Amino acid sequence: MKTRFSGLLLLGGLLLGGCAVTDSVRERMAADSPAHARVFAAEPRVAYAAMRASLNGMGYNFSRGGPAEGWLDALSPVLPGDAGENARQISLHAEFHAADGGTEVRLTLKEIIEDSSAHLGMATTTPLRDTPLYEVFFHAIQANLAGAAP
């Protein structure tokens, strides 16, 4: 009886220890892909509105967030992947912080790939570190801010 209890205790410890390893790997991966930032000469709410307009113009769908929260999430349309066998999508997370001279906008982009042949509903998310999409978004925000100026 004592051996069975010890075995269950050991098994429980191993299971919980595996969760800690998974969390630390996720934290390290997030730290390896810092957000790209740019400061715009506008109030946070105005910069937020310019970002929303940029998303709509690029076909992204707003998911959640708001100017009061200081962040927003959006998703690109689902695109076919290689040879039409998987689906690809880009997720965007933007944060808005008041900074000297305006608003700092921090963007994080991630690629979501779902393999339709193996495990339906399972996807892989990979941070996009060096993609020109960051500059495209920053340019679109600046263009919308310039258009919003009287």
Burial (0-12, 13-18, 19+ Cβ within 10 Å), 137? buried
pLDDT at 98: 94
pLDDT, the chain, mean: 82
Q: Return the half-sphere exposure (C-beta side, CA atoms, 13 A cut-off) of residue 54.
A: 27
CATH class of domain segment(s) 34-148: alpha beta
Contact 98, 124 (CB under 8 A): no
Tell me the average pLDDT across 12-18.
Answer: 61
Q: What is the pTM of this model?
A: 0.74
Task: Look up residue 48 and give its two tokens.
Answer: 């937020």
Using CA atoms, how far apart are residues 138 and 133, in angstroms rounded to an integer? 9
pLDDT at residue 34 in the model: 79
